[in-house]
């Protein structure tokens, strides 16, 4: 028998049908360099298409290989391993739990800058390589000529893996029109989308912006840019990538530990034990806002550090405030990297590499930082564990708590979750395992006095303002005392709905099944889901009469009312319309603090993580309208937001107060939020979940079919329903979600419930694999899973 070396690989980019282990021969010269987690190029399928694959392991040569014609790995693409064995196992867990491919799971772990694309090149007789597209364009005979040249052996087509980061150029866009023409385009209704306006305005300001920066800072996709390019408003070009290495500034730690409170001591002692032992364990710190959780996290991180291990500290998307970063930097200096979605591709890449090379021991960041490539992880902290940004909204739709728990188990690390308002599912799971640690006092200051204003009284008295009389008086008091006020309203724009007073028609987006919001500053109706804009009209689209009325207030309207009510006061507004690109977020908050602005009004962006000593009054303007998110979690979300927002008040010696305005004042939810009584909220909520059979009493999944054609979404949902419906799960017939159309795509969903999570996973996997083969290209199928995370 020949001495052949065989490799097991999985494909980087493939569909679920091909998502399995393949065997290839390893060229002898490559064998000594190859390590688990490196990427290679392999010829795949009958056409030998070049594909990028991950090398898993060597396997023993087996007789069965003699019978098949085995191919060789064609190229080694990495010079060091990208993912470790334990990260592979984590990828497998994610793949199995959230229905995706290995490649998708691995891509969620590895930064964009490290992905590899396959480039097609033409090899000339003299050895020169020319990009295929360029060669095609210069060949007068087109593809026919090329095929002939190949036949005559004059040229060869080769494929090469290109690592994005190594490309000397990156794609950027710039304006083709004059900045002064933008307004005219808007005025003449030539632009129909808020995002398009945003792109043009930013390009007018910055001259050119890379496609990656648009994606990471502004969440603007390639599609948006190519639409504008097709219209001739912008052009794309290749821009030389800046090659200068980022210099890491030398920061020495300046802050030291506080003298801990009794609550803090108790929690630290309890968690220190398993840290000293270096064994996997998990805890939930249930500590009210301002109880000193962050100080506890920092203490735990330094204990882990002393053991020679690393830590990952996760914070919600909007919780990663400059304040948070400063506190950690002051304590740990250079031993820390910050990772979040607003980093450019290059910044993210270099943060990732610093971790991988062992140059730092702490990573502070948002969701995807859970994949920080530490090899000696000792601690994972998830602050505000209930936050919605911990659930990934693109494939794989993983829940960070689940991934963190798996990773902690895999690496023998401690998982610490913290929240003033934990998810009831988390609380339930941790409580059952005796792992809840409670902190019920503030380290500094006191919890604010919370009071409720019944808005029905004010409305009945003919007071049509967004503000109740009570709140107006309190704001007046604060202005007079030189103290700051924060007002919270979960809706941007001016008015939230255009309603016909006669036929009750609501103006909806052409592309989505949602009402349009009026933005006064821009004088447009805007769809908050797809960005579509249109002119406001007083005429009802159905009655054709002048009967339209505006309802519901947004932050823009509140700001306008504030100026009328308190003309002397300084007011700052913070929402998606006033923030964007790198720093304006931070600039606004710095301005609020440094210039002692009287009133800050904002969306949930301001509800979390800020700590300003002079804020003594918090107003929550629309407590009834809170609670977005998944249907069964909406009261939980409302409770969380009210608690978080009111927790901004009274964080120093100055006593704080919070005023909640609501119409539905008798709901137990509002009652418990005012009493700030998590335990009663929790038991009420658990009772309701039990009656309605929702998690944690059952596992649940939502299977969503989307298509531009409604009948295709419906038909495929029906096929899937027929498969599922014969299983032991409870399966609800296909139905439309609350938003039945998004971005011109119709949505049909199937809800399943099952007491046994394993049974649910098996049944869903079967259906998923079956559908993956059947599904037409124009239909997508997505599965959201709500299982116990611990």
| Residues in touch with ligand ADP (CB under 6 A) | 258-261, 264, 287, 289-295, 443-444, 611
Task: Look up tokens 């909220």; give the residue.
Answer: 681
| Separation between Cα atoms, residue 87 and residue 675, nearest integer Å | 44
Q: How far is CA 201 from CA 179, 182, 207, 531, 534, in A?
A: 8, 8, 10, 15, 18
**β-pair partners for 705:** 748, 781
Exposure of 105 in the CB half-sphere (CA atoms within 13 A) = 26
| Separation between Cα atoms, residue 212 and residue 581, nearest integer Å | 12
Q: Which of 511, 573, 585, 741 binds Zn ion (CB under 5 A)?
A: 511
Residue 600 binds Zn ion (CB under 5 A): no
Nearest CA to 658 out of 669, 668, 650, 667 is that of 650
Q: Which is nearer to ligand ADP, 94 or 336 (CB)?
A: 336
| Separation between Cα atoms, residue 720 and residue 218, nearest integer Å | 36
Q: Which is nearer to ligand ADP, 611 or 715 (CB)?
A: 611
- Answer yes or no: are the C-beta atoms of 598 and 566 closer than 8 Å: yes
Tokens of 127: 């050895």
Binds 293, which of Zn ion, ligand ADP, none (CB < 5 to 8 A, cut-off by type)?
Answer: ligand ADP
Binds 724, which of ligand ADP, Zn ion, none (CB < 5 to 8 A, cut-off by type)?
Answer: none
Provide the minimum distance between the beta carbon of 323 and ligand ADP in the complex, in angstroms, as a whole number: 9
Binds 115, which of Zn ion, ligand ADP, none (CB < 5 to 8 A, cut-off by type)?
Answer: none
| Separation between Cα atoms, residue 393 and residue 263, nearest integer Å | 36
Provide the minimum distance between the beta carbon of 528 and Zn ion in the complex, in angstroms, as a whole number: 8
Instruction: Report the residue count for the chain.
Output: 790
- Tell me the three-class secondary structure of 403-426, residue by residue: HHHHHHHHHCCEEEEEECCCCHHH
Q: Which is nearer to Zn ion, 516 or 605 (CB)?
A: 516
Binds 295, which of ligand ADP, Zn ion, none (CB < 5 to 8 A, cut-off by type)?
Answer: ligand ADP
Q: Which is nearer to ligand ADP, 11 or 381 (CB)?
A: 381
Binds 787, which of Zn ion, ligand ADP, none (CB < 5 to 8 A, cut-off by type)?
Answer: none
Task: Look up tokens 């099944």; give the residue.
Answer: 513
**Which one of 411-419, 455-463, 504-512, 751-759 is the stretch in contact with Zn ion (CB under 5 A)?**
504-512
Q: Which is nearer to ligand ADP, 441 or 570 (CB)?
A: 441
| Separation between Cα atoms, residue 308 and residue 360, nearest integer Å | 11
Q: Which helix (H) or strand (E) holds 138?
A: helix 132-138
- Answer yes or no: are the C-beta atoms of 261 and 292 closer than 8 Å: yes
Task: Look up tokens 């996290």; give the residue.
Answer: 297
Residue 623 binds Zn ion (CB under 5 A): no
Q: Which is nearer to Zn ion, 105 or 512 (CB)?
A: 512
Provide the minimum distance between the beta carbon of 613 and ligand ADP in the complex, in angstroms, as a whole number: 8
Binds 507, which of Zn ion, ligand ADP, none (CB < 5 to 8 A, cut-off by type)?
Answer: none
Nearest CA to 268 out of 239, 240, 241, 298 is that of 298
Q: Which is nearer to ligand ADP, 260 or 632 (CB)?
A: 260
Provide the minimum distance between the beta carbon of 38 and ligand ADP in the complex, in angstroms, as a whole number: 41
Provide the minimum distance between the beta carbon of 301 and ligand ADP in the complex, in angstroms, as a whole number: 13
Binds 509, which of ligand ADP, Zn ion, none (CB < 5 to 8 A, cut-off by type)?
Answer: Zn ion
Residue 512 binds Zn ion (CB under 5 A): yes
Nearest CA to 599 out of 585, 583, 614 is that of 614
Residue 532 binds Zn ion (CB under 5 A): yes
Residue 224 binds Zn ion (CB under 5 A): no
| Separation between Cα atoms, residue 619 and residue 605, nearest integer Å | 15
Binds 67, which of Zn ion, ligand ADP, none (CB < 5 to 8 A, cut-off by type)?
Answer: none
**Which one of 405-413, 426-434, 519-527, 597-605 is the stretch in contact with Zn ion (CB under 5 A)?**
519-527
Q: Which is nearer to ligand ADP, 349 or 678 (CB)?
A: 678
Binds 532, which of Zn ion, ligand ADP, none (CB < 5 to 8 A, cut-off by type)?
Answer: Zn ion
Provide the minimum distance between the beta carbon of 192 and Zn ion in the complex, in angstroms, as a whole number: 11
What 3-state class would DSSP assign to 586?
helix
| Separation between Cα atoms, residue 530 and residue 739, nearest integer Å | 12
Residue 423 binds Zn ion (CB under 5 A): no
**β-pair partners for 750:** 703
Q: Which helix (H) or strand (E) holds 134?
A: helix 132-138
Residue 507 binds Zn ion (CB under 5 A): no
Q: Which of 527, 607, 615, 771 binds Zn ion (CB under 5 A)?
A: 527
Provide the minimum distance between the beta carbon of 512 and Zn ion in the complex, in angstroms, as a whole number: 3
**Which one of 323-331, 528-536, 626-634, 772-780 is the stretch in contact with Zn ion (CB under 5 A)?**
528-536
DSSP-derived secondary structure for 459-502: HHTT--SSS-HHHHHHHHHHHHHT-EEEEE-S--SSEEEEEETT
| Separation between Cα atoms, residue 235 and residue 175, nearest integer Å | 6
| Separation between Cα atoms, residue 606 and residue 629, nearest integer Å | 18
Report how many residues bind Zn ion under the rule CB under 5 A. Answer: 7
Q: Which is nearer to ligand ADP, 264 or 517 (CB)?
A: 264
Provide the minimum distance between the beta carbon of 389 and ligand ADP in the complex, in angstroms, as a whole number: 17
Binds 443, which of Zn ion, ligand ADP, none (CB < 5 to 8 A, cut-off by type)?
Answer: ligand ADP
Binds 484, which of Zn ion, ligand ADP, none (CB < 5 to 8 A, cut-off by type)?
Answer: none
Nearest CA to 322 out of 614, 604, 590 is that of 590
Provide the minimum distance between the beta carbon of 653 and ligand ADP in the complex, in angstroms, as a whole number: 12
Binds 512, which of Zn ion, ligand ADP, none (CB < 5 to 8 A, cut-off by type)?
Answer: Zn ion
Tokens of 557: 């309207």
Where on the chain is the footprint of Zn ion (CB under 5 A)? 509, 511-512, 527, 529-530, 532
């Amino acid at each position: 028998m020949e001495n052949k070396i065989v490799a097991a690989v999985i494909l980087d980019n493939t569909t679920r049908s091909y998502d399995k282990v393949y065997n290839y021969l390893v060229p002898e010269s490559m064998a000594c360099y190859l390590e688990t987690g490196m990427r290679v190029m392999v010829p795949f399928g009958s056409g030998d298409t070049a594909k990028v694959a991950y090398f898993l392991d060597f396997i023993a040569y087996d007789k069965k290989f003699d019978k098949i014609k085995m191919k060789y790995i064609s190229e080694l693409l990495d010079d060091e391993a990208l993912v470790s064995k334990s990260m592979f196992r984590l990828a497998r867990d994610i793949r199995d739990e959230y229905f995706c491919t290995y490649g998708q799971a691995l891509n969620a772990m590895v930064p964009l800058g490290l992905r590899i694309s396959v480039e097609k090149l033409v090899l000339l007789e003299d050895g020169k390589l020319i990009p295929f597209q360029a060669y095609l364009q210069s060949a007068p005979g087109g593809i026919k000529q090329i095929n002939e040249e190949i036949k005559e052996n004059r040229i060869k087509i080769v494929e090469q893996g290109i690592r994005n980061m190594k490309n000397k150029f990156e794609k950027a866009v710039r304006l083709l029109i004059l900045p002064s023409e933008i307004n005219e385009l808007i005025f003449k209704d030539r632009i129909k989308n808020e995002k398009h306006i945003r792109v043009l305005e930013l390009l007018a300001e910055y001259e050119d912006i890379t496609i990656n920066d648009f994606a990471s800072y502004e969440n603007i996709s390639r599609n948006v840019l190519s639409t504008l390019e097709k219209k001739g408003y912008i052009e794309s070009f290749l821009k030389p990538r800046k090659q200068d290495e980022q210099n890491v500034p030398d920061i020495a730690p300046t802050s030291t530990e506080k003298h801990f409170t009794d609550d803090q001591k108790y929690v630290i002692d309890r968690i220190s034990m398993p840290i000293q032992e270096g064994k996997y364990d998990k805890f939930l710190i249930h500590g009210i806002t301002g109880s000193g959780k962050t100080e506890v996290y920092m203490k735990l991180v330094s204990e882990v550090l002393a053991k020679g291990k690393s830590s990952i500290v996760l914070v919600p998307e909007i919780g990663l405030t400059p304040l948070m970063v400063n506190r950690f930097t002051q304590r740990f200096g250079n031993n820390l990297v910050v990772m979040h979605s607003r980093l450019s591709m290059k910044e993210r890449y270099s943060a990732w590499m610093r971790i991988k090379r062992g140059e730092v021991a702490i990573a502070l960041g948002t969701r995807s930082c859970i994949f920080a490539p530490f090899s000696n992880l000792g601690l994972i902290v998830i602050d505000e564990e209930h936050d919605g940004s911990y659930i990934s909204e693109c494939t794989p739709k993983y829940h960070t708590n689940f991934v963190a728990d798996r990773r902690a188990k895999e690496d023998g690390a401690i998982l610490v979750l913290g929240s003033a308002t934990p998810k009831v599912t988390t609380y339930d799971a941790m409580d059952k395992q005796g792992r809840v640690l409670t902190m019920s006092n503030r380290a500094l200051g006191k919890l604010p006095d919370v009071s409720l204003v019944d808005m029905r009284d004010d409305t009945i008295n003919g007071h049509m303002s967004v503000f109740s009389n009570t709140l107006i008086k309190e704001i007046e008091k604060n202005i007079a005392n030189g103290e700051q006020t924060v007002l919270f309203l979960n809706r941007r724009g001016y008015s939230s709905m255009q309603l016909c007073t006669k036929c009750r028609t609501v103006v909806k987006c052409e592309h989505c099944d949602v009402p349009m919001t009026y933005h006064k500053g821009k004088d447009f109706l805007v769809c908050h889901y797809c960005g579509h804009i249109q002119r406001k009209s007083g005429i009802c689209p159905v009655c054709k009469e002048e009967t339209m009325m505006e309802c519901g207030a947004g932050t823009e309207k509140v700001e306008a009312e504030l100026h009328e009510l308190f003309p002397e006061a300084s007011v700052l507004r913070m929402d998606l319309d006033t923030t964007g690109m790198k720093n304006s977020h931070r600039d606004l908050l710095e301005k609020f603090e440094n210039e002692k602005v009287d009133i800050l009004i904002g969306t949930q962006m301001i509800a979390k993580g800020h700590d300003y000593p002079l804020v003594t009054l918090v107003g929550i303007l629309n407590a009834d309208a809170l609670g977005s998110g998944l249907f069964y979690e909406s009261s939980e979300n409302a409770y969380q937001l009210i608690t978080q927002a009111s927790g901004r008040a009274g964080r120093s010696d100055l006593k704080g107060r919070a005023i909640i305005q609501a119409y539905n004042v008798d709901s137990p939810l509002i009652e418990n939020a005012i009493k700030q009584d998590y335990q009663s909220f929790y038991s009420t909520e658990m009772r309701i979940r039990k009656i309605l059979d929702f998690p944690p009493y059952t596992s649940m999944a939502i299977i969503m079919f989307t298509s531009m054609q409604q009948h295709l979404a419906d038909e495929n949902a029906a096929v899937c329903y027929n498969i599922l419906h014969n299983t032991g799960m409870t399966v609800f017939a296909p139905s439309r979600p609350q938003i039945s159309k998004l971005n011109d795509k119709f949505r049909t969903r199937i809800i399943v419930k099952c007491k046994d999570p394993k049974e649910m996973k098996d049944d869903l996997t079967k259906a998923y694999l079956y559908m993956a083969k059947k599904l037409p290209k124009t239909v997508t199928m997505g599965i959201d899973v709500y299982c116990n995370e611990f």
